[in-house]
Amino acid sequence: STDLPSFVHGDFHPELTAATGLRIELWNDANAAAYGEYKVGAGRGSRDMFYVTIGTGIGGAIILDGKLWFGASGFAGEFGHITIDAEGDECVCGNTGCLETVASAPNIVRRANERLYRDNTSSLSKLALNRDFTAADIAREAINGDDFALLMIERTGKYIGAAVASVINLLNIERIILGGGVMEAGELILNAIIREAGRRSFQPCFEATQIATAALGTDAVTIGAAMLARDAAQQEATMR
């Protein structure tokens, strides 16, 4: 993870196994959440699925033919680092214009603060007088009909939708599941994502893709991690 740079090249299996005497499985949180959604959540019944989590950071995971696909170095699915604006802001990964620089929760708040001085009629302006507002506040005010908050959610959805279109065009994937705190804006952001993805995708690919919100909420990572550990243990048992 670019949010934990010292862990990018780390392998903690030997140390943890030695310390606990147990078999240890380590999974990226997006991969674990994806597996949970695939098995018992919004991805259930699909064969191929792309999972996105949009919160403090933006992550992704790919499931092909029922199995997580990790790529050559284990980092497949880094959805947050798709370039959206080649001349955009610098990302923590070292690139410029990554999706994460405009659509992660902290950066939605940053963009809102940059624009608020031009719109003091928003309920967020009043909220900002008393405390720092969050992406959840923006989502709530958008649902309540605040025009400025609606604009921020719509623009965020367009950024995400443009990146989703790249996934659709590249993978011709059956199902895309969107999770994380930013998706608390519900249909407001989901519809914006679908509209933009539809506008930018190769149509035969788009028409074959179902885009939906995640079903397991904050339990997705825990459920998925438990299922991954169970399946790994079962596979090991059958090989004995």
pLDDT in tens, 81-95: 999 999 999 999 999
**151 burial class (0-12, 13-18, 19+ CB within 10 angstroms)?**
middle
CATH, domain range 28-225 = 3.30.420.40
Q: How far apart are CA 41 and CA 22, in angstroms?
A: 29
Average pLDDT (187-202) is 98
What amino acid occupies position 28?
A: N
pLDDT-derived band of residue 22, with 50, 70 and 90 as boundaries? confident
Mean pLDDT of 32-47: 96
- Write down the domain spans for the chain: 28-225
Mean pLDDT of the region 202-216: 98
How much is the pTM?
Answer: 0.89
Report CA dihedral (70, 86, 188, 31) to the nearest 10 degrees.
10
Residue pair 53/33 in contact (Cβ under 8 Å)? The answer is: yes
pLDDT (0 to 100) of residue 10:
58
Residue 24 pLDDT more than 90? no
Instruction: Give residue 126's pLDDT.
Output: 83
pLDDT at 194: 98
Across all residues in the chain, what is the average pLDDT?
A: 91
Q: Are 176 and 49 in contact (CB under 8 A)?
A: yes
* pLDDT for res 23: 74
Give the integer Cα–Cα distance in Å for 222 and 102. Answer: 28
Average pLDDT over every residue of 25-41: 92
User: Dihedral of CA 57/63/68/74: which sign?
Assistant: negative
Quick one: what percent of the chain has pLDDT higher than 70? 94
Helices 105-116, 135-143: axis angle to 10 degrees equals 70
Contact 56, 44 (CB under 8 A): no
Helices 220-238 and 29-40, packing angle to 10 deg: 80
DSSP 91: P
